[in-house]
Amino acid sequence: MQTIVITGAGSGIGRASAERFGRQGHRVVVTDINETTGIETADRIVADGGTAVFRRLDVTDPGQWEVLADWVCDEWGTPDVVVNNAGILIGGGFLEQTGDDWRRMIDINLMGMIFGSRTFVERMTATGKRGHIVNIASCGSFLPNSIAPSYVTAKAGIWLGTQSLRAEFGKRGIGVSAICPGLIRTDLAANGHRAGDGEDEPWAAKLASGHKYFGRSPKRVAAAIDRAIRWNLATVPVGAEAWLVWFLYRLSPGTVRTVSTAVRMSWIDPAVNLTGKVFGGNK
């Protein structure tokens, strides 16, 4: 039985991963900033015969990471696997997104991964644990664009940070993997906003209403995480479009940049509005 810590496990990829590991008989530490959904995930695992506990975590707070790590190590020892999954989405062009938008994106998506990796790698090395760190990046890591620049910047940082961590600690027996999904049915869109919108603007709700019908099940990503740990894979794209972007980026970054930057918010906003009308996200 292994001990596995997962952030953002209240829904989507985090929940699917937590439930997968729970079914395999591992102890799962479910963390999320949303207590309601996090507790629900832990309860689902326990109801299915697994072992899970919920701990609230704001991934942007290094102090909370220390408290979590101390608790996990005291209860069950140094964890075997840590999955840094928590993230949000903010849409809008480079200048549309405010300094606060950029700061929030980097704090949650990138610094959350850095704090989580640093906190637990430090304990793994101190105890000689041959553990594994899994960081959820995105095929957006290789897809510069003008519709979510802060998001892809943070995800690119996750991917490169993961490779740097792997280069330094791989030789010390710690596995490190970056998972790069394509379009996945999650609540990511709901946990963000359109830069420039007021609090009452329904852009995120409209996008989220259609997002849950398009893309692959988050169980596909959970399976990729499992595979990455088993084989200690460095980068694991998930989905045909993710593999295409990954290979094209390695072959010709300029081509990827030319194609992706052709897509603009002036195209996206009408599509999101249509999605809201079709799938009921206008409420």
| Per-residue pLDDT tens digits for 178-233 | 999 998 987 765 566 777 665 545 665 556 555 666 678 999 999 999 999 999 99
What is the pLDDT at residue 283?
46
Residues 32 and 64: their CA atoms lie apart, in Å, by 12
> Which pLDDT belongs to residue 133?
98
Determine which of 162-166, 180-184, 220-224, 275-279 has the lowest per-residue pLDDT on average. 275-279
| DSSP codes joined into one string, 250-270 | HH-HHHHHHHHTT--HHHHHH
Residue with tokens 């990138």: 110
What are the catalytic residues? Answer: 151
Give the per-residue pLDDT at 261: 75
Q: Enter the DSSP assignment of 88.
A: -
Give the domain extent around 221: 3-279
Kindly calculate the radius of gyration of the chain based on its CA atoms and give it in whole angstroms: 18
Indicate whether 269 pLDDT > 80: no
CATH code of the domain containing 238: 3.40.50.720
**Computed from CA positions of residues 217, 219, 223, 228, in that sequence, does the dihedral angle turn out positive or negative?**
positive
| Average pLDDT in the chain | 90
- On whether the pTM is more than 0.85, the answer is yes
Longest dimension (CA), the chain: 55
What's the domain count of the chain?
1
pLDDT digit string, tens, across residues 22-74: 999 999 999 999 999 999 999 999 999 999 999 999 999 999 999 999 999 99
What is the spatial distance between Cα 15 and Cα 233, in angstroms, rounded to a whole number? 22
Which residues are CB-contacts of 71 (< 8 A; sequence separation ≥ 6)?
55
Q: Return the HEC string of 191-231.
A: HCEECCCCCCCCHHHHHHHHHCCCCECHHHHHHHHHHHHHH
Q: Rounded distance, CA 233 to CA 42, Å?
A: 28
Tell me the sheet residues that pair with 6.
30, 83
Q: Which two tokens stand for residue 27?
A: 């102890």
Spatial distance between the Cα atoms of 242 and 117, rounded to a whole number of angstroms: 24
First-residue to last-residue Cα distance in the chain: 45
Cα 80 to the center of its chain, rounded Å:
19
